[in-house]
C-alpha cells in the first residue's frame, strides 16, 4: 500500500512514509492504522509508541501534520488490534498524550484486502472496543484495497 494523500491533501513532500503490501492475493484483514492529524507537529508520538508500533508516516502533509502507525506484532483481527492500540495510547506520557488529545482527527483505520475472486470479509467489533475508541476521542474508518499478486514496498522520503 503506497502512501496516498488523504482528505484532499495534495502536498506530502515533507512526510516520510513506508508501507508494505500483503504478498498474497487473498481477502482478509490487514491491520489497523491510527491516523492522526493536527496543526502541531506530531513527531513526539513516534518514540512514545515505538516499542509496539512502527511509523508508517509522520510529518507535514499539506497545511497540517500527520502521523500514521501500525502494530509491530502480526494482528489477529481488528478487535484485538484496536484494543492493543487503545491500551498504548492510554499509557502515553502526559506530554505526548496531549498531542493525541488535541489532534483534530484521531482515526482507527481498519485495513482490509479484497481479492478479485475472494470470499467476503466481515469485521465485528464488540461494544467494549467501540467504547475504547470513543473514550479516546477516536473514530473508526474502514479502507478496502484490491489485492495484488506480487509484494511491493514503496518508500517516500523528504526531498
Q: Using one digit for the tens of pLDDT, what is the confidence trace for 6-50?
A: 444 434 445 444 444 444 667 888 889 999 999 999 999 888 888
Name the residue with cell 483481527. Answer: 77
Exposure letters 121-133 (e unless 16+ CB within 10 A, then b): eeeebeeebeebb
User: In the predicted model, what is the mean pLDDT of residues 61-81?
Assistant: 89
Rounded Cα gap, residues 20 and 30, in angstroms: 11
Is residue 124 a contact partner of residue 155, using CB atoms and an 8 Å limit? Answer: no
What value does the mean pLDDT of the chain take?
80
18: Cα separation from own chain's centroid = 12
User: In the predicted model, what is the mean pLDDT of residues 50-66?
Assistant: 89
Is residue 93 a contact partner of residue 125, using CB atoms and an 8 Å limit? Answer: no
Report residue 98's pLDDT band, with 50, 70 and 90 as the boundaries.
Answer: very high
Q: In what order do the strands lie in the sheet with 139-146?
A: 139-146, 105-114, 28-38, 64-71, 53-61, 16-20, 153-156
Question: What pTM was estimated for this model as a whole?
Answer: 0.74
* pLDDT at site 30: 87
Is residue 68 a contact partner of residue 58, using CB atoms and an 8 Å limit? Answer: yes
* pLDDT at site 79: 95
Amino acid at each position: 500500500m503506497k502512501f496516498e494523500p488523504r482528505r484532499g491533501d495534495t502536498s506530502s513532500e515533507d512526510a516520510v512514509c513506508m508501507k508494505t503490501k500483503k504478498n498474497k492475493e487473498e481477502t482478509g484483514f490487514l491491520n489497523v492504522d491510527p491516523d492522526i492529524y493536527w496543526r502541531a507537529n506530531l513527531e513526539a508520538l513516534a518514540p512514545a509508541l515505538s516499542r509496539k508500533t512502527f511509523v508508517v508516516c509522520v510529518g507535514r502533509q499539506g497545511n497540517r501534520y500527520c502521523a500514521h502507525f501500525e502494530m509491530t506484532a502480526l494482528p489477529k483481527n481488528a478487535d484485538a488490534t484496536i484494543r492493543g492500540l487503545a491500551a498504548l495510547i492510554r499509557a502515553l506520557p502526559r506530554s505526548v498524550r496531549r498531542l493525541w488529545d488535541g489532534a483534530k482527527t484521531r482515526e482507527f483505520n481498519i485495513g482490509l484486502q479484497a481479492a478479485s475472486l475472494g470470499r467476503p470479509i466481515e469485521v465485528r467489533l464488540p461494544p467494549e472496543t467501540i467504547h475504547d475508541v470513543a473514550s479516546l476521542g477516536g473514530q473508526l474508518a474502514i479502507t478496502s484495497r484490491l489485492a495484488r499478486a506480487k509484494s511491493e514496498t514503496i518508500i517516500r522520503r523528504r526531498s
